[in-house]
Amino acid sequence: MTQKPIAPCLWFDGQAEEAANFYCSVFKDSRIVHVDRFTDNVPDPDGSVLFIEFEINGQPFQALNGGPEFKFSEAVSFSVDCKDQEELDYYWDALLKGGGEPSQCGWLKDKFGVSWQIVPRVLNEMVRDPDRERASAAFRQMMSMVKLDIAPLEAAYDGKR
């Protein structure tokens, strides 16, 4: 892997390898790059994971088993740009699998507590429209949703709702 200048490092309490494998199962263009295993603070290929590097769609990530001191919050989230409703539904369902929690406006927490925004690409186009009335209608519709649904967003944007 060519080192990129910034890689998010996710802090887990013993779940780094499980999380990295989960994310690599959800995102098709992903892979585990490197795993550091330690036992009693000594490198050991058969020990538990201390640090793991993985890629999702070419974006490097790191996961660290740092202990229980820190928890995830919505202050940091990962946004998934979806080309259509089918892709949006796939990521929504996959990231909720195993104990995730839906939130609102296309946000969810996966089973590890990591926050994700599952967003249709067309929504960004709508809310950035110079016609502020149309953009606001789409935004208001989004604010009323849990999982985003493109058809009602487009209906609101087109003044049909």
What does R_g of the chain's alpha carbons equal in angstroms?
19
Does residue 89 sit in the same domain as residue 26? no
Same structural domain, 21 and 83: no
Among residues 19, 36, 69, which one ends one of the domains? 69
User: Which pLDDT value is given to residue 74?
Assistant: 94
How much is the pLDDT for 47?
A: 75
Query: In the chain, how many domains are there?
Result: 2
Q: What is residue 29's three-state secondary structure?
A: coil
pLDDT, position 3: 63
| Structural domain boundaries enclosing 148 | 72-161
Adjacent-strand bridge partners of 48: 38
User: Which residue positions in the chain have pLDDT lower than 50?
Assistant: none
- Structure confidence by residue, pLDDT tens digits, 128-152: 999 999 999 999 999 999 999 999 9
Domain boundary among 16, 36, 69: 69
Q: What is the CATH number of the domain that holds 24?
A: 3.30.720.100
pLDDT at residue 161 in the model: 62
Please tell me whether residues 95 and 63 are part of one structural domain: no
pLDDT of residue 38: 79
pTM confidence score: 0.90
Amino acid at 19: A
95: tokens are: 């990231």
Please tell me the distance from the alpha carbon of residue 120 to that of residue 82, in angstroms, as a whole number: 5
Q: Edge-to-edge strands of the sheet including 115-120?
A: 77-82, 115-120, 107-109, 101-102
pLDDT value at residue 5: 80
Residues contacting 31, CB < 8 A, separation 6+: 24, 54, 55
